[in-house]
Amino acid sequence: MGGPRRPEGEVLLRRMEAWGDEWRAVAGSTEPADRALAEAAIASLYVASGRQAPAFAWVPSPAAGILAYTFAVLAHHRIVDRWARGDVGNGRNRSFNGLAAPFGLEPAWTYRLSCNVRDRIPSSRLPRQAASDPVAGCAEALGFGGTSRVLRIVRSVVSGSGRGLLPAVRADPASVDAAAGVLGEAWPRLVEQLGADLARGVFVEATRRVAVSVLDPANGRRDAMRAMQPGQWDVLSPVLAASRDVFGGFIWRRLDGRLEHERQIETRLEIARSAGPWWALDGLAIVSERPLILHRDDRGRPHAPDRPAIAWPDGVEAFAWHGIPVDRWVIEDPGRITVAAIDGERNTEIRRVLVERFGEERLIREGGAELVAEDETGRLWRRRLEEPRRWARTLESIVMVEVDNSTPEPDGSRKTYYLRVPPAMRTAREAVAWTFGLGAVDYRPVAES
């Protein structure tokens, strides 16, 4: 077999790292969008699928894009992914399912290719939970697994955006008459037949209904959310492209050379390198600018302990704690986090954030933890985070072992400290032994200080 040689060993690891660095940088970019590049790449997707190149509308943020899309979709057809099959029910969902990825890649092909990529990654690099979603596992192993978390934060902020945007419809006669001019000849006739007041009332009500149906977050947004393309937070395309650009190209050939897919992936990489999320409608593409600010933790997940993690030019802000979307006050006013607030939080992820910000040890000390066991090694405390539920096999809880420092302080007192241990621990000895990687019976120091 000819073709490029498979990179191996150190060479392969270096290439994987370089690929991860590049795509972490793309996801973290806060440069202004490269509009010319983005427009050319998006237009080429349209042309490749036999459509006219679209007009472009640039918006300052994904939140603005969602709003623009929900309005523009009244006058522009959606583009339905041709791979969409409407798998559910009688197939009439085709248009709905297809919205998720206009110009999408064939799902079965994508899945096979991502599994192939995963098989090429040295197993030591793969996260343990990689089995279920090969794309996520590959992205994690390649070092840009946090990117999907960025997209998640973006989705959470845009899904709630525009609340309170419903317009108070202006009803003064002059502006109503001016607006109703769009009806042309029909308007004077309606005024004549219904009377001016009644006609104006009907027009205002009709306008209000349209505004509500278009701008109401609950109704209009779901469609726009599904149709949102990831842009710079694309995870799939760089994972698929890794088969060629990191692992040496052989996988592409084996999957009967879908040149069409290859070009499409290439185009998507270009879009990712040049702009934020975007939406495709027939004749119109809506493209978002990149954020002005994007703070991430060392795993690439949006995170900022005291300010917005993401902020866009139009003032839209997102708050996040290690990739988990949280309300503004959790970040800006952590003093408001109380034991009651923690217990009242139903979402387990957010509750974990609250506990982390409040302090695990403090929750054990102040939150009414139960003493599970006590022996010469220390005291084992448990603080439940959930009410016991009838069918729950395990309950989320924090278990910590409290131990005394063997060396007394100058004043004779002993410092105590808390160590978190796995929730299955039953005795303090077992817990302390675990912290040294030993079983309870194997832990028997004869001297301590």
Partner 1 sequence: MFNNTSGAVTIPAPASQLRQGDVLLVPADVVPDGARLVRRDAGRVVLAYGEVTGHAHAIRSTAARLLEADAERYLVTTAAVMLEHEEHDPIAVAPGTYRVVIQREYVPAEVAPATFRRVAD
Region of 253-261, 265-273, 387-395, 398-406 interacting with partner 1 (CB under 8 A): 398-406
Q: At what angle do helices 134-142 and 107-120 cross, to 10 degrees?
A: 40
Per-residue b or e along 315-335, where b marks 16 or more CB atoms closer than 10 Å to that residue's CB: ebbbbbbbbbbbeeebbeeee
Residue of 48, 374, 438, 439 interacting with partner 1 (CB under 8 A): 438
| Binding residues among 405-424 for partner 1 as defined by CB under 8 A | 405-407, 419-422
Tell me which residue of 108, 153, 101, 111 sits closest to 133, measured CA to CA.
111
- Report the nearest approach of partner 1 to the CB of residue 17 (Å): 16
Q: Residue 203: is it exposed, middle or buried by C-beta count within 10 angstroms (0-12/13-18/19+)?
A: buried
CA proximity to 117, closest of 21, 23, 12, 28:
12
Residues 319 and 301: their CA atoms lie apart, in Å, by 12
β-pairing, 310-311 vs 293-294, is antiparallel
Question: Does residue 379 belong to the site contacting partner 1 (CB under 8 A)?
Answer: no
Count of residues engaged in binding partner 1, rule: CB under 8 A = 26
User: What does the block give as tokens for 243?
Assistant: 């088969």
Question: What span, in angstroms and rounded, lies between the C-alpha atoms of 432 and 405?
Answer: 13
Mode of pairing for the β-strands spanning 370-375 and 317-318 = unpaired
C-alpha–C-alpha distance, residues 337 and 351, integer Å:
10
What is the smallest separation between the CB atom of 360 and partner 1, expressed in angstroms?
10
Complex with partner 1: residue 34 or 360, whichever CB lies closer: 360
User: Using CB under 8 A, which of 112, 152, 299, 384 touches partner 1?
Assistant: 299
Q: CB under 8 A: which stretch of 67-75, 232-240, 309-317, 436-444 binds partner 1? A: 436-444
CA angle 145, 218, 336 (to 5 degrees): 65
**Which residues make Cβ contacts (< 8 Å) with residue 359, sequence separation at least 6?**
none
Binding mask 151-180 for partner 1 (x = CB under 8 A): ------------------------------
Q: Tell me whether residue 172 or residue 298 sits nearer to partner 1 (CB atom).
A: 298
Residue 200 or 352: the one with the smaller Cβ distance to partner 1 is: 352
Q: Do residues 426 and 372 make contact, with C-beta atoms less than 8 angstroms apart?
A: yes
- Minimum Å distance from CB 373 to partner 1? 16
CA distance 23 to 273: 9
Least CB distance to partner 1 at residue 350 (A): 12
The answer to whether residue 296 forms part of the interface with partner 1 (CB under 8 A) is no
Exactly one of 4, 127, 167, 315 binds partner 1 (CB under 8 A); that residue is: 127
Q: Does 322 bind partner 1 (CB under 8 A)?
A: yes
One of 317, 349, 386, 404 touching partner 1 (CB under 8 A): 349
Closer residue to partner 1 in complex, CB, 90/449: 449
The smaller minimum CB distance to partner 1, of residues 40 and 350, is found at 350
Of 223, 356, 375, 404, which lies in the binding site for partner 1, with binding defined by CB under 8 A? Answer: 356
- Give contact residues for partner 1 (rule: CB under 8 A): 127, 299, 322, 349, 352, 356, 399, 405-407, 419-422, 434-438, 443-449
